[in-house]
Amino acid sequence: MPRNPPASDDLTVEAEPERALFVEMLTRDIELIPAIMDLLDNSIDGARAQIDDHTPASAFKVDLKVSADQFEIRDNCGGIDLDVARQYAFRFGRPRAYKGTKRSVGQFGVGMKRALFKLGRVFSIESRAADTSFEMTIDVDEWMDDTDPVWTFRMSKAIRDYNPKKRGRGTTITVTRLHEAVREDLADGGFLSLLREQIRFRHQGALAEGITVTLNGERLEHFSRELLSGPDFKPINRTFVVPSEHGDVAVRIIAGITRLERRDMGKDDGDAESFRAGTDAGWWIFCNDRLLLMRERTRLTGWGDSLPNYHPQYRQFRGYAYLTAASTAALPWNTTKTGVDEESRVWRRVQAQLKVAGAQVVAVLNRLKIEEQTSINDDDRPTVNAAMAATLVPTDKLEENEAFAAPPPRKPKSKSTPRKPKVQKMQFEVPVDRFASVSAQLGTSVVAEVGRRTFDYYYEREIED
């Protein structure tokens, strides 16, 4: 029920938010998989905050168990301190006083709450930190019916003298009374396959470090990132810093070519399905090791703008951009972490460098195609030879290299065509009976042949002799 402003103050206008805005409207801005990723992000951030010389990444684990009945994410990644939970973690928006974790993924203070509302109508949280613990169960329908203008959640248990030696540290979130659409998705094998792929893609860095993530008991492996590198064929691997009002953003751009299939080189018939390993081509953009964009090959990264439109000819193109910042506010991503803020000055600086790097790799791919299509022998294809002699090297093992290194374009060979002798065309008329007599003698009735042989007969006897 709306509350009337005090009668003595006609200048006061109510501007309090409605709980339904957050429960029903904000959840429409995010799809189910990104919502699950927000919860996984929190676990990964917690693990990374604990990693040090004495505690390796392999000590941390995140288990997701999903079904049509409930969603659960359980980790041993440090837990949420009781005071952080009471004052910051469940606020709708991030208070200025909260500094967060350096190089974390969470930024805006809406991800966890939005994800929980997206999943279902009841959620329970149990968290065990260094010396505190708490438990909380929220019925969303009951919370929405609460007319108190002060928004709060109520914990069922809070302990300030928790001993982590008993049960360890970590957080368990369980969601029940799932929304009908969520129930259908979590029971669908195709959806689970997509979720599995998205976790492997979007948390490649965490999985590669050794943090364990399981989905319904299956341990997920990271995707390898490798580019061809050799003595005469080196991909781009350069770093620079972009300043912003929220702090510096360190950027590493790696761009090059993956394994070449010799039998495929030179093809460009436009049928992407006929090429092997073509679906992963494009740019892969990471913010604080969280994959933001995958297989990006639109005008956002220069394709169809400063670069040609993407074509299967460029199927071996791989580009990786890693943006790292202590403050997540400096990173150019949107609230759902599914796209970039194109108005960001940081993104515009990065975008310009992506176009430069992309142009260099595309130029080499074009050269490879030309050499393969037009060369006669191995000497005619220095770029192809250098690429074929290179080996796949993990991107984290590549040498620093400002620009793509490849053999220079071959010089066109001068075509020495033999000089044609000058000729004189002759045309004259003779009596038909005389032509018949000569042609019968020569054994041919072809006019040009009769003329040529009679001319040669005269030249051989009267000129050469």
Q: What is the pLDDT of residue 30?
A: 83
Range of the domain at 185: 19-219
Q: What is the pLDDT of residue 27?
A: 78
- 336-344 contacts at long range (C-beta below 8 A, 24 or more positions apart): 336/29, 336/30, 336/34, 337/34, 337/37, 337/38, 337/41, 337/105, 337/287, 337/290, 337/292, 338/30, 338/31, 338/34, 338/292, 339/292, 339/293, 340/285, 340/292, 340/293, 340/300, 342/300
Q: What is the pLDDT of residues 201-229, one digit of tens each?
A: 889 889 999 999 999 999 999 888 899 99
Looking at 191, 219, 247, the residue that finishes a domain is 219
Q: What is the pLDDT of residues 42-72, one digit of tens each?
A: 999 999 999 998 999 999 999 999 999 999 9
| CATH code, domain carrying 335 | 3.30.230
Same domain (yes/no): 242, 378: yes
Same domain (yes/no): 38, 152: yes
Q: What is the pLDDT of residue 55?
A: 94
What is this structure's pTM? 0.69
Could you give the CA distance from residue 361 to residue 177 in angstroms, rounded to a whole number? 51
As a whole number, mean pLDDT of residues 83-92 equals 85
- In 278-316, the DSSP E strands lie at 282-287, 290-296
Q: What is the pLDDT of residue 374?
A: 84
Q: What is the pLDDT of residue 303?
A: 95
Residue 403 covered by a domain = no
Arithmetic mean of pLDDT over the chain: 86
Q: What is the pLDDT of residues 405-445, one digit of tens each?
A: 999 877 766 555 556 667 788 888 888 888 888 887 877 77
The residues, ordered by sequence, that sit 6+ positions from 379 with a Cβ below 8 Å of its Cβ are none
User: Would you place residue 99 in the very low, low, confident or very high pLDDT band (cuts 50, 70, 90)?
Assistant: low
Residue 3 covered by a domain = no
Same domain (yes/no): 114, 45: yes
Q: What is the pLDDT of residue 25?
A: 74
Same domain (yes/no): 215, 325: no
User: Would you place residue 463 in the very low, low, confident or very high pLDDT band (cuts 50, 70, 90)?
Assistant: confident
Could you give the CA distance from residue 377 to residue 370 in angstroms, rounded to a whole number? 13
The residues, ordered by sequence, that sit 6+ positions from 113 with a Cβ below 8 Å of its Cβ are 22, 90, 92
Residue 411 covered by a domain = no
Residue 109 covered by a domain = yes
Same domain (yes/no): 186, 232: no
CA distances to 46, 208, 253 from 201, rounded to whole Å, are 20, 11, 18
User: Would you place residue 264 in the very low, low, confident or very high pLDDT band (cuts 50, 70, 90)?
Assistant: low
Q: What is the pLDDT of residue 205?
A: 87
Same domain (yes/no): 97, 23: yes
Q: What is the pLDDT of residue 107?
A: 45
Same domain (yes/no): 24, 84: yes
Phi and psi based region of residue 335 (left: phi greater than 0; alpha: psi -120 to 50; beta: remaining):
alpha
Same domain (yes/no): 273, 203: no
User: Would you place residue 240 in the very low, low, confident or very high pLDDT band (cuts 50, 70, 90)?
Assistant: very high
Residue 123 covered by a domain = yes
Same domain (yes/no): 207, 242: no
Q: What is the pLDDT of residues 175-206, one digit of tens each?
A: 999 999 999 999 999 999 999 999 998 898 89
Looking at 173, 193, 219, the residue that finishes a domain is 219
* 82 alpha carbon, distance to own chain's centre: 37
Same domain (yes/no): 91, 195: yes
The residue type found at 383 is T
Q: How many CB atoms lie within 10 A of CB 265?
A: 19
| CATH code, domain carrying 38 | 3.30.565.10
Q: What is the pLDDT of residue 276?
A: 46
Q: What is the pLDDT of residue 275?
A: 46
Residue 12 covered by a domain = no
Looking at 219, 246, 278, the residue that finishes a domain is 219
Residue 243 covered by a domain = yes
Same domain (yes/no): 351, 444: no
Mean pLDDT lowest for which of 57-61, 259-263, 344-348?
Answer: 259-263
231: pLDDT strictly greater than 50: yes
Same domain (yes/no): 62, 84: yes
Q: What is the pLDDT of residues 115-149, one digit of tens each?
A: 999 999 999 999 999 999 999 999 999 999 988 88
Residue 367 covered by a domain = yes
CA distances to 230, 263, 287 from 292, rounded to whole Å, are 30, 34, 6
In this structure, are residues 135 and 124 in contact, taking their beta carbons and an 8 Å threshold?
yes
In this structure, are residues 286 and 323 in contact, taking their beta carbons and an 8 Å threshold?
yes
Phi, psi at residue 287, to the nearest 5°?
Answer: -120, 120
Q: How many domains are there within the chain?
A: 3
